[in-house]
Structure 1
Amino acid sequence: NALLTPTSGEILIDGKKPGVDSKEIISYLPERTYLNDWMRVSDIINFFSDFYKNFNKDKAYDMLAKL
């Protein structure tokens, strides 16, 4: 799931390409959202469940039901 497409260069975290392990130790807070306008809540939940290996879809839907 790539939100942005690189135009040049390379990103390394501790000498390695970003991956599952690096997602656990770093954060990224963009100035603007990169989620697409066409995305439904279920699409966004699927996106984040793919990004975080311990993401709990059931808990996410439960939290949404309480809104």
Structure 2
Amino acid sequence: MAVEARQVYRTPVKPINFDTSQEKRSVQQVDFALGIEALERFVNKEPLRRIYESVFGILALESEEVDPRL
């Protein structure tokens, strides 16, 4: 039983540009920690107000920066 070797043609894939800046990494770590905190509060059946504190913290980190001149 012979196996045919076929070449698959596809468009070239652009390399992924991982931003490894220290500032970006620290924001990602805080984002992750807030997510874990929200999950722990949910599992421990804390009030929704406490869960939302962590969730809104995540949303604030992901929002666009506001120009202070406005």
Q: Under a length normalisation based on structure 2, what TM-score does the superposition of the two structures give? A: 0.31
Higher relative contact order structure (alpha carbons within 8 Å, sequence separation ≥ 6): 1
Q: Under a length normalisation based on structure 1, what TM-score does the superposition of the two structures give? A: 0.32
Q: Which has the larger radius of gyration?
A: 2
